[in-house]
Amino acid sequence: MTVRKLREKRGWAFNIAVPILKPLLKATTKREWIGGENIPEEGGFIIALNHISHVDPLTAAHLVYDHGYMPRYLAKAGLFDGKVLGHFLRGAGQIPVKRETKDAVGAYAAAVDAVRDGQCVVIYPEATITRDPGMWPMKGKSGAARIALETGCPVIPVGQWGAQEMLAPYTKNPHLVPRHRITMRVGPPVELDDLRAQERTAAVVNEATERIMTAITHQLELVRGEQAPAERYDMAVQGDRFKKQKKAK
């Protein structure tokens, strides 16, 4: 398991969070970091991973921190509305995203600046916890691809598994005992160089997005020892199965 020294100062927010959260995660999880050598040792980059639980931003942050970086997330703008939480998130360098509004452009620009400043930006391309019945990655959004094409930075795909055992999707009661194994498998950078040389059309962005999702899915297949469905779940076509289940009750 690769563990590196932190390459930047933590700042006040992380100075509060790390001494609390890291011991808690160590006490409640068993870490299995695979392929950590694929995380760059310098320069800005994107970590792109599948989303399976509300708790997995913490376990993903653990991976990033163990490899020497402070994670910067693209997070829902609503999380920044509270005085205390909003102040903390801003202090930790997190980036608010107002989805489906013109203000989302500001989040994109902030993420581009963070990458160019040599930081690690963590992105869930699905933009929400997967609705796939088998918990495989869904069709992705284009944010990670657009940032990568703009900056030329590496996109590092991660397939993660185990956090859903700690807190199942859209439930409120965590299961912390016994300790759950959290596996994060880090793959090599997604090959995007040929696309960066092309005009930034919708087709090029879509192809980059598909390559990123394919790479994430491949890493998850290796973790689970299973093959993902041939067709990705698409909420725009198949809807939100959690909402459908809630209405049916």
- Find all residues with CB under 8 Å of 22, minimum gap 6, and list them: 62, 65
In the chain, what are the domain boundaries?
Answer: 28-76+117-248
List, for residues 40-84, the tens digit of each pLDDT value. Answer: 999 999 999 999 999 999 999 999 999 999 999 987 888 898 889
CA distance 135 to 52: 7
CB 148 within 8 A of CB 122: no
| Domain boundaries 28-76+117-248, corresponding CATH code | 3.40.1130.10
Q: Rounded to an integer, what is the distance from CA 98 to the centroid of its chain?
A: 17
Q: Which of 153, 130, 156 is nearest to 141 (CA)?
A: 130
Identify the band that residue 96 occupies on the pLDDT scale cut at 50, 70 and 90: confident
Task: Write down the pLDDT at residue 105.
Answer: 72
| Average pLDDT rounded to a whole number, residues 195-200 | 94
CB 139 within 8 A of CB 233: yes
